Structure 1
């Protein structure tokens, strides 16, 4: 399975992001509507065919999202606050997302199998998300989940402060 790439800056802005392959060929379009309520992302083929959507179900400090593929709900995700780390669990798919969600370096795991791994890499176009997805069948779900997790980074106050001045702010 080839790796997929999303420009870091494009995914942080409102509008359309292009998902590219290893050879910088566009494969998908990711369209997002963001705000305080009813956040959502839709993934399209370049031909315009809708492949999947992820829509916000609830508000709050830890909003939940519903994942749709072919018009059917296939799972939902919500943050789980642990003692040391935060986790995201995807119900119905039984996927666990672990890693540094603030820095967008995490893995999606099913039992002991890695479904997807993300990293930020530096390319000539600037910072870019690299999505290493193990199976073609999981591409749509993984791209939509990555879009929501990236969106959470920009809507969390703690993350916003870390992004602005990671080494200069101190709280006593």
Structure 2
């Protein structure tokens, strides 16, 4: 398993995102934006090589993103609404993304094989997203998917504030 970390603050502001390994060494840089058709993200190795590009192709409640490696389209990520909440499909790779998106814990699977698991990690120097990826070849694509899924399932309201709002709604 390859273990990587992304600082939550960087992911939430859609600025540059630095992906680090378990020793704290910077391994990837993700830059870009979304919100319009054609917008997207780019993942670079720290030596400056472009590894993955992501382009938004449909702007809606259920958007689509195309993933490109070395200029070749390798997959399309699509969000769906299921009975138990949202889920995502990564076509061409035959991956499905499910989990507890409210608590930032989800996994990518192909059949019974777990490709990646992501969860929020509370560390002394900040809140991070912890990624556990099964194979090195999946690391760049999974890193981009983690940013997209986080953005599309965004619940940035702190738990205490969320509970207060739910309680106030019940009293009205």
TM-score by length of 1: 0.90
SS at match of 2:6: strand
Partner residue, 1:167: 163
Count of matched residue positions in the alignment of Structure 1 and Structure 2: 168
Distance 1:142 1:4, change over 3 A: same
CA distance in structure 1 between the aligned counterparts of 2:18 and 2:11, rounded to whole angstroms: 9
| Post-superposition CA distance 1:116-146 (Å, at most 9, x none) | 0001111122110000000001011100100
What are the ranges of 5 or more consecutive residues in structure 2 without an aligned counterpart?
A: none
Partner residue, 2:18: 18
Partner residue, 2:95: 95
Is 1:52–2:49 an aligned residue pair? no
Aligned-pair CA distance for 1:162: 7.0
What are the ranges of 5 or more consecutive residues in structure 1 without an aligned counterpart?
A: none
RMSD (CA atoms): 1.8
CA distance in structure 1 between the aligned counterparts of 2:134 and 2:7, rounded to whole angstroms: 20
Distance 1:160 1:28, change over 3 A: closer
Distance 1:38 1:101, change over 3 A: farther
SS at match of 1:166: helix
